Structures are given as C-alpha cells and as structure tokens.
Structure 1
C-alpha cells in the first residue's frame, strides 16, 4: 500500500511540500515521509475519500507545526562549553554596565520622578501603595510615572541604551 501511495502521489506531494518549505529539500523529504507514514498507520482515514487532498492537508499541517515549533524554541548557537562560559561572563559584565548606566540615568531625574519610579518599578508597589507611601494622590502617581519614564528613556538614549 505504501509503495503504491508513493508511486502515485509522491512526486506531486514532494513538489507541493518543497514550495511550502521554501525549497528546503531535506525538510520536504522528511515531511513527505511522515505524511506517507501517517497514511500507512491510519488507512481508515483514507477509506471512502480522495487520497491526494488528505495527503496534501496532512503535509501542510506538518509543515505548519514544524514552523511553529521552530519559532517557539530558542535558536541553537553551536558554541562549545568554553565559548559559552566566556559568553556568559560577557553577559554578566554587560548587565553590570547596563545597571550602572541605568542608575546614572535615574540619578539625573528629578527627585519626585525618581521616587515614583523607585516605588513602582523597583519596589513593585501598586499606584495606591505608592500614593500612600509618597503622600500624593493616585492620579499624581500615574502622571509622574508617565513623565518619569519619558525622562528616563531620554536619559538612556543619551547614553546609547534605549532604541
């Protein structure tokens, strides 16, 4: 059965999957193989219906699933352990430098803006809690937060950190 399916539908199915995969022949061949394997495992799905549309639908679903899975996974780097350790050290240094730069930018803000950002972002307080802590109305907390974030973004852009 599998040989007959492949000889009758294999060529057109491979051409269709090649178009779906952007010409990636190894991936297309894997999809065709998996599609035919599913047809062989589930002959009841083919009974009483045209075979080719079913095969094309299964192949399309496999390509879509593979694309989604690829997007959901982080990219593989191909670095060895030594390179990964060196890279991790660089990340720590970069994070420390960024923290230092953010602290400098915060210091550049007005005391009222800095206080609102410290309470809401660094201490994780809500607007109501921040208003109570600073002794100001909740609406003032919201507006100060808005303007403080704009001023912080500008200060970070001047230092080359923000887009």
Structure 2
C-alpha cells in the first residue's frame, strides 16, 4: 500500500527504545486525525489501517533514532499522514471510489440528511479535482485545523505559499460547488 512497508521486527525494535515501552505512541484523537487526513487525501478505507501504522512507525523511528520529539505531535502526525496520502496517489495513479472515502468519514452517531450527503459528495468530488498540493493544505487547514504558520513550518514552505494555495483551492472548490448548483 503505502511506501516503505514496515516489518514487525522494525516496529518491535523501535518500540523497545521508546520511553513508553509497550504504549502506543498515538493517542485515540491523533489516530482519528491520521485516519481522517488519509481519507480526505484519497486513501481508500481498506488502506487506512496501513496508513495509521506507517505514521506510528515513523513516530517510533524518530524516537528510536534519538531525534527530538515534535513540538506538536498532533500537527506532526497530520502532516505525515498528508504526505502518505500524496505518496499513495503517486504510487497507485488511480482514483478510488468516492463511497469508500465517504464511508471512512461518516460517523454513524450523526446521521446526515439527503442535503448534507449531497454536499459531502460534492465537496469530496471537488477535493478529488484539486492538485495534490492544494488538497494537502486545504485538508491540513480546515480539517486538521492547523494554523497557516503551522502548515508552513511542517511542510517547509513560506506562509505566503500556504496562503496562496489555500486561496486558490478554496476558490476552485467554491466554483465547483456553484457550478454544480450545490450551494
């Protein structure tokens, strides 16, 4: 699925060097964020567990190599997840069915009406049509709720570039929704 499949012995070795031996390096909120970012980035539901494991492995490898812990682990895992989603698109070179992604985002505790479902479908289709770099900043800003400065720092690009990509992506998505008479 995603680049650099992890072997069990690598995970065990990395976990053994973690100060929290035996503990999962991702808490439940971080894991949900990773799943959501991957899903919004176009990774099919069936590959989400592998994506979560990749993020977990990278966090363990970072710890095992003696690197300094990320200042904001939640932001770091969201950015890593967005990179994995872009990697998946490059490797697969195909679009997944929209239903899988929507199923990954749908929370059964909050049933949506027909109007909300249509809007969700239209937004997901609009996200599909955006270039990967625009989709990435849009997902990180509005779904992962990272500030522009945080996105710029995590992606290693200027804040102005983040703002420009966000502006262009929002305009394209809005135009798409108006074009289809969704909003």
TM bucket (normalised to shorter chain) is: 0.3 to 0.5
TM-score (normalizing by structure 2): 0.37
Quick check: which has more Rg, 1 or 2? 1
More helix by share: 1
Structure 1-normalised TM-score?
A: 0.42
Bigger relative contact order, structure 1 or 2 (CA pairs below 8 A, ≥6 apart): 2
